[in-house]
């Protein structure tokens, strides 16, 4: 998000305050450590715990819009809350910075924050513009779904929260067999061909089933389905012309926010085809 997926952050900062959420930037936050997990699990745990301890110090809950970061922080919280010895070991490291993991903070992703905490009634009250009649494929992404035994923001087998949010905006979202399939993003650094094939397969399925576009809430997935759409389609011998938006972008448009403030111009997929820009009554 801070390096290329600016539209996600822009749309979050525009939409959440309209629903009564105060966004606070906490100094000192760093990477969650998840990209380093296969190299050094303790380093990943330490980095995640460090971010959690900053939230502890400030007495504030955490909004973690990236599912991969959300998983890393959730896993760290799960380990430290259930393993006293590991908690002591990590806190010994954190004390070098004057920090301590306590574990009082709550973790939210965009989907569970909007669906569970803000509520669908509040969303309906904020809708100012009627969107075109659309049928959008909901894509959840792997890290928000699994591992289910640790507790994730949505149901791992039959997630429906995003569809409920879309319906409250006046947008249909029919079910489809490939809904839980991976975007291929985590494979991109080491196996780009396989990664793009996974992306292309899902884009092809969405196109074949007549959806108007895709809606998601993950910067990795947006990177794959939006910016790498052409290459992904070519990798499976297909062509793709699928508009891809962040859930928060679609919410912002329904709330009457100017599309430029939502970063819609930064989307590389054919979002103009949806007829969402400008005045939509």
Res 140 pLDDT > 90: yes
Average of per-residue pLDDT values in the chain: 95
Q: Which long-range contacts (CB under 8 A, 24 or more apart) does 224-229 make?
A: 224/183, 224/184, 224/185, 224/188, 224/195, 224/196, 224/199, 225/139, 225/183, 225/199, 225/269, 226/267, 226/268, 226/269, 227/268, 227/269, 228/196, 228/199, 229/199, 229/203, 229/268, 229/269
Query: Structure pTM?
Result: 0.95
- Is the per-residue pLDDT at 279 higher than 80? no
User: What pLDDT does 278 receive?
Assistant: 64
pLDDT tens per residue, range 63-87: 999 999 999 999 999 999 999 999 9
**Domain 119-274 fold:** Rossmann fold (3.40.50)
Q: 233 exposed, middle or buried (CB, 10 Å; 0-12, 13-18, 19+)?
A: buried
The structure tokens 């998000």 sit at 1
Token pair for 42 = 């303790």
pLDDT tens by residue, 167-191: 999 999 999 999 999 999 989 988 9
Give the CATH number of domain 31-108; options: 2.60.120.380, 3.40.50.1950, 1.20.1050.140, 3.40.710.10.
Answer: 1.20.1050.140
Q: Mean pLDDT, to the nearest integer, of 247-270?
A: 97
Query: Can you give the pLDDT at residue 281?
Result: 45
Q: Identify the pLDDT of residue 280.
A: 45
Domain residue extents for the chain: 31-108, 119-274
């Amino acid at each position: 998000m801070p390096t290329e997926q600016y539209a996600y952050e822009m749309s979050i900062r525009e939409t959440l305050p309209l629903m009564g959420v105060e966004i606070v930037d906490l100094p000192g936050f760093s990477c969650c450590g998840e990209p380093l997990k296969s190299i050094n699990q303790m380093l990943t745990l330490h980095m995640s715990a460090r971010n959690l301890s900053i939230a502890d110090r400030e007495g504030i809950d955490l909004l973690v819009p990236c599912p991969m970061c959300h998983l890393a922080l959730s896993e760290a919280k799960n380990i430290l809350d259930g393993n006293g010895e590991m908690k002591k070991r990590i806190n010994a490291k954190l004390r070098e910075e004057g920090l301590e993991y306590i574990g009082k903070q709550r973790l939210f992703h965009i989907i569970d924050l909007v669906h569970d905490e803000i509520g669908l009634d509040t969303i309906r009250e904020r809708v100012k513009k009627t969107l075109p009649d659309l049928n959008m494929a909901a894509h959840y992404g792997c890290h928000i779904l699994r591992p289910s035994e640790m507790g994730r923001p949505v149901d791992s087998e039959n997630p429906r929260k995003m569809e409920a949010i879309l319906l409250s905006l006046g947008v249909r979202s029919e079910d489809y067999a490939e809904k839980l399939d991976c975007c291929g993003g985590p494979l991109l650094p080491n196996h780009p061909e396989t990664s793009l094939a996974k992306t292309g397969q899902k884009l092809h399925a969405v196109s074949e089933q007549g959806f108007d576009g895709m809606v998601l809430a993950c910067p990795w997935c947006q990177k794959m389905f939006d910016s790498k759409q052409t290459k992904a389609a070519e990798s499976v011998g297909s062509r793709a012309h699928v508009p891809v938006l962040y859930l928060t972008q679609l919410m912002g448009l329904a709330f009457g926010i100017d599309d430029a403030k939502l970063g819609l111009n930064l989307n590389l997929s054919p979002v103009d085809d949806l007829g969402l820009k400008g005045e939509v009554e």
